[in-house]
């Protein structure tokens, strides 16, 4: 049994909690499963309450509450909570109320937000105070049901906020970097859905060394751009030679949307997570993110797709709204 179970009850203990969690964008081009950023566009709310029966209960609400699985092993919040309780040998009944406001199947970290909110909430509810990397690892496990494998590039920014680099998976080590204040995002969400599991299943198992080399150069320039506060350098790194060319085929209008974003002044543009949403990085001293978002929406429209478009800023991670 892990250490935290022995400590259970020694910290602050509450019986109910509400956590709000932001949408996220993952990959940013070459950073597959490694880069992620919290975006202040949509928020889920996860409420956890101890219940007398030693069972897991799930209530769904919100605009997209009917769009996500109710079965516990197919729901990222339930899967994460079950894994957490089992890992620490904790026998408690938990009711999860999940208010799903982040669009589902769009590449905006919807399943990651559910898992991240559930893990942050459970940790606080039980008064454990686990280290952040452990929270990220537990939440990443919850992603297995929607992605087919744990990945941390959505849950880490959902928990920590800002830009996050997953430096290691075994053990999980997530490193946060504050995005520059002039970095804004233009987001275009077309009216199609892509399953993350399917978008991962089509990826090549092996890739040419030359493509890996190009990706390392671009990924490194994203990190350097973040450290220097150079949005143009960040954007120029958002070109992926490995994953995006395969997934682009699932997104009608991909090339047009990308071109329109760059013409409107974006510094870089990429598929958000496994798509179909496209995300552009904008230096707000050079162009307006809302103009870029509009141009991207026109690109999708040219491809015959309706689209929701918006401008947003990077934001902080999961926050506890109340505990009682």
Please give the residue ranges that form the binding site for ligand HSE (CB under 6 A): 26-27, 32-33, 107, 147, 151, 153-154, 196, 199-200, 273-274
For residue 214, count other CB atoms closer than 10 A to its CB: 16
- Closest to 234 in 3D by CA, of 23, 24, 33, 37: 37
Q: Of the residues 24, 25, 196, 277, which is catalytic? A: 196
User: Whole-angstrom Cα distance, residue 54 to residue 32?
Assistant: 38
Q: Judge residue 6's burial from the number of C-beta atoms within 10 Å of its C-beta, 0-12 exposed, 13-18 middle, 19 or more buried.
A: exposed
Q: Any catalytic annotation for residue 143?
A: yes
* Contact residues for 12 (Cβ-Cβ < 8 A; gap 6+): 127
Catalytic pick among 49, 143, 184, 298? 143
Note if 3 is an active site residue.
Answer: no
H or E segment to which residue 261 belongs: helix 254-263
Q: How far is CA 146 from the centre of its chain?
A: 12
State the Cα–Cα distance between residues 159 and 318, nearest whole angstrom. 5
Residues with catalytic function? 143, 196
């Amino acid at each position: 049994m892990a250490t935290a179970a022995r400590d259970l009850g020694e910290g602050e203990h509450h019986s109910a909690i509400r956590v709000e969690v932001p949408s996220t964008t993952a990959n940013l081009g070459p950073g597959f499963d490694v880069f992620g950023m919290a975006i202040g566009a949509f928020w889920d709310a996860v409420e956890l309450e101890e219940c007398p029966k030693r069972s897991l209960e799930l209530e769904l609400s919100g605009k997209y509450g009917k769009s996500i699985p109710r079965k516990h092993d197919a729901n990222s919040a339930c899967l994460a909570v079950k894994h957490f309780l089992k890992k620490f040998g904790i026998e408690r009944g938990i009711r999860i109320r999940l208010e799903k406001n982040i669009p589902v199947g769009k590449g905006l970290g919807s399943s990651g937000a559910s898992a991240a909110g559930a893990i942050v909430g459970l940790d606080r509810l039980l008064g454990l105070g686990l280290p952040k990397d452990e929270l990220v690892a537990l939440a990443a496990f919850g992603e297995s049901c929607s992605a087919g494998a744990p990945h941390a590039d959505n849950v880490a920014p959902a928990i920590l906020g800002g830009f996050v680099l997953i430096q290691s998976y075994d053990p999980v080590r997530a490193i946060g970097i504050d995005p520059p204040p002039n970095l804004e995002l233009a987001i275009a969400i077309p009216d199609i859905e892509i399953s993350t599991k399917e978008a991962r299943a089509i990826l090549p198992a092996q890739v040419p060394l030359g493509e890996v080399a190009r990706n390392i150069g671009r990924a490194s320039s994203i990190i350097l751009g973040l450290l220097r506060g150079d949005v143009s350098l960040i954007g120029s790194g958002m070109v992926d030679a490995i994953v995006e060319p395969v997934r682009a085929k699932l997104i009608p209008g991909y090339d047009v949307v990308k071109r329109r974003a760059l013409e409107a002044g974006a510094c870089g543009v990429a598929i958000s997570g496994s798509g179909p949403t496209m995300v552009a990085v904008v230096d707000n001293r050079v162009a307006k993110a809302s103009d870029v978002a509009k141009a991207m929406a026109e690109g999708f429209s040219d491809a015959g797709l309706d689209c929701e478009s918006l401008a947003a800023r990077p934001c902080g991670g999961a926050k506890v709204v109340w505990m009682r």
